Amino acid sequence: MSIQFIVVLVVCAICAFAYILRKIRKSEITIADSTFWFLFAASLVLLALFPQIAFFFSEALQIQSPSNFVFLYVIAVLVIREFLSTVELAKLRARLTTLTQREALDDLRDREKPDAD
């Protein structure tokens, strides 16, 4: 990997750390959700500081260059994260539907009750 690529990885990872910390301070993201992004940024720093890791895996997976391995790694991690987010979103939609239906039924029951007056 070239020095420029390593520098870009480190700078982007540091920017990601700063951005995540800013979002936590503004209470726009929970600490639990930010854990993934911290680990992801740390893994990019690790790949930048120890390019031997990328060389090893690019040779083991028979990828043409270590930078291609880094791109593959980033894409794979983000696709997995997106899938997990989609699963979580589907659960939340189902829960919202259930809560909306329950609220509508409660509202209907309240309207059908005879007034005690």
Residues in the chain: 117
Per the CB < 8 A criterion, the answer to whether 2 and 54 are in contact is no
Determine the pLDDT at residue 30: 78
Quick one: 43 exposed, middle or buried, by C-beta within 10 A (0-12, 13-18, 19+)? middle
Helix, strand, coil shares of the chain, percent, nearest 5, are: 85, 0, 15
- Give the span between the Cα atoms of 43 and 53, in whole angstroms: 11
Are 38 and 23 a contacting pair, CB within 8 Å?
no
Digit-by-digit pLDDT tens for the chain (117 residues) are 678 877 887 888 788 888 888 888 888 887 778 888 888 888 888 888 888 999 999 999 999 998 899 899 999 999 999 999 999 999 999 999 999 999 999 999 988 887 655
From CA 59, how far away is CA 49, in angstroms rounded?
18
Which residue, 38, 13, 87, is CA-closest to 30? 38
